[in-house]
Amino acid sequence: MRLPYPALLAALGLAGALLFLASLLVGPAAIGLSDSLAALIHGQGEAVTLVMREVRLPRAILGAAIGAALGLSGALLQGLLRNPLAEPGLIGTSSSAALGAVLAIQTGVSAAFALALPLAALAGALASVAVLLLLSGPRGSTLTLILAGIGISSLATATTALILNLSPNPFAANEIIFWMMGSLADRSMLHVQLALPFLGLGALLAIPAARSLDALTLGEDAAASIGVNLRRLRLLTVLAAALMVGAATAVAGAVGFVGLVVPHLLRRACDARPSRLLAASALGGAAVVLAADVAVRLIAPDRDLKLGVLTALVGAPFFLHLILRTRQEGL
Amino acid sequence: MRLVLDHLTVRRGPCPVLHDISLTLAEGEFVGLLGPNGAGKTTLLRAALGLLPAGGHSSIAALPPAARARAAAFLPQGREIAWPMPVETLVALGRPGRRPEDTAAVARAIDRLGLAPLRPRRATELSGGEQARVLLARALAQEAPLLLADEPTAGLDPEQQLAVMTLFAGLAAEGGTVLASLHDLGLAARHCTRLIVLDTGRIVADGAPRAVLTEALLAGTFGIRAHLSEGPEGLIFQPLGRVAR
């Protein structure tokens, strides 16, 4: 069975919308369906309105936006590198964002004001993009880009480990470890306001890259001969992915496997066209993260199961299954 | 459309890999670019297309990217197909527009290479020879007046090799200009209208096949001796053995 592309997008969008609704309706405060929606829209009843507007709505928005950003970044990087194993963490942005956050927690800056932690993470992410572009240079090949990304990622991970290693404060170390697991719990509208501009800008940058990624299927020389500006394409793709992954990690910590698995899963349904895979992976990523975030609340309502733990726990075996299938059928 | 290269020079580090190449290819020419491995054939094609930094001037590389894509199609040596796209989608990458003339160009390219039965198949699941035809169709779909092909017959069976050479000769006969790097001197001698021989980055011979493939050139540049004769279907080239250079 094969869905036409618009139907595929509509189905993914519908799944995302239903899961968004589910995300609004699931939580420790037992509120009925009609009550919760009425409170969200009309603002009747003080406590319920507060729960809906300040707790569940930002959580659902962030779930959709971060999922979309991770799916889209994964599809972008797989397209640019012509490799189904590329994932958003490859260019080092997520580990650098984590390093920024860890520094903020360790130094106590994170407690200074509400957005100190995500801002520090964002600063880490942006610094890593600057270093990446500096290292790979304007004429840098795709290989230099990957190698620079791996280098930055390793350095950021090592520094994070060093901080944990030497941390004199067990509470800070504990907080760091939990933060790195990735979660959407207790996020506010401030987090939404901080992340959305970067996520939106990243998504906008992805649009002009779409067609060029299709041509890149034929390799860099053939793509350039059909009029693709490779330097511009690399810059657009890397900036877009870095902005989205940086902002996503800044507000939610590390949510793994979404950017790797979602494009892989949807590739054939998109006729393996990188341009079509972008929108599909964004919608698919949103649906997957929303579903995972509903699941963590249903599986362990009072244990604060971390989102990133669940996505990795489900994503990794699923990925192994995909590899087995790839071995049998080709990509 | 003519292709004019004027003092084209490419350096890799301090050493030049392409020395001062000047040549003009006219409409209707099917030019075989010959030379031993490492002579600079691929470098010449890429520099002519503006795919690598070069000194001197190339009439194609000087064009803005979109105009360049309309003027020249390129079939690279590495036959890369990164994703399992359907054949028709892959061919259409050479002609991504949605106007009726774009779809018609894609259909003509598919027909010309006899790919109609493979149209819905995934390109990555085809045999090497079929993939080569798909990629050639992709380049033809551009319907550019110039076609530059890097070893288009490498790895093909004899029938496919002949099919490619006949196709290129046909394109030239229709007024196109074809420049193809080739290792098979027999195919080049019989099908090309002109041969250009490169050796260590310089042009050592340029002209009609009979004039270019001399005993001295074959021995000096290729290190072989061969028998050449005029057959009913054109020049026949038969390599006989190696000679000490």
Sort out which chain B residues have CB atoms less than 8 A from A271's CB and list them: 85-86, 89
The tally of domains found in chain A comes to 1
Rounded Cα gap, residues B200 and B10, in angstroms: 12
Averaged confidence pLDDT in chain A: 89
- Least confident piece of the model among A312-316, B72-76, B179-183: A312-316
- Whole-number pLDDT of residue A284: 97
Interface membership of B138 toward A (CB under 8 Å) = yes
> B43, B63, B83: which to substitute to probe chain A, counting the most A Cβ within 10 Å?
B83
CATH number assigned to the domain comprising residue A142: 1.10.3470.10
pLDDT digits (tens, 9 = 90+) for B120-149: 899 999 998 899 999 999 999 999 999 999
Domain hosting A43: range is 5-329
**Which tokens go with A14?**
């519908």
Integer CA distances (angstroms), A24 to A53, A62, A285, in order: 10, 12, 18
Low-confidence ranges of chain A (pLDDT < 70): 1, 44-45, 138, 329-331
HSE-CB of A117 using CA atoms within 13 angstroms? 21
Mutation for B interface: A2, A81, A142, A226, most B CBs within 10 A: A226
Helix, strand or coil for residue A157? helix
ipTM of the complex: 0.91
CA distance B43 to B180: 13
A268 touches B: beta carbon within 8 Å: yes
Residue B125 near chain A (CB below 8 Å): yes
Give the closest of B51, B75, B83 to A331, CB-based. Answer: B83
pLDDT in tens, A90-104: 889 999 999 999 999
CATH number assigned to the domain comprising residue B172: 3.40.50.300
**How distant, in Å, are the alpha carbons of B18, B43, B191, B198 from that of B37?**
14, 12, 21, 10
Q: Using the 8-state DSSP alphabet, how is residue A89 labeled?
A: G
Q: What pLDDT was estimated at residue A173?
A: 85
Q: Please tell me the predicted confidence (pLDDT) of residue A41.
A: 77
**Chain A residues lying within 8 Å of B90, measured CB to CB:** 217-218
Q: Which residues in A lie closer than 8 A to residue B96 (C-beta atoms)? A: 211, 214-215, 226
Check CB contact under 8 Å for B76 and A221.
Answer: yes
Does A325 touch chain B if contact means CB atoms closer than 8 Å? no
Whether A218 and B135 lie within 8 Å, measured CB to CB:
yes
More confident residue, B232 or B200: B200
SS3 assignment, position A185: coil
Q: Which domain holds residue B183?
A: 3-242
Interval B13-27: pLDDT, tens: 888 899 999 999 999
Q: How many domains are there within chain B?
A: 1
- Which residues on B lie below 8 Å from A219 (Cβ)? 76, 78, 80, 82
Q: Tell me, what's the pLDDT at B41? A: 96
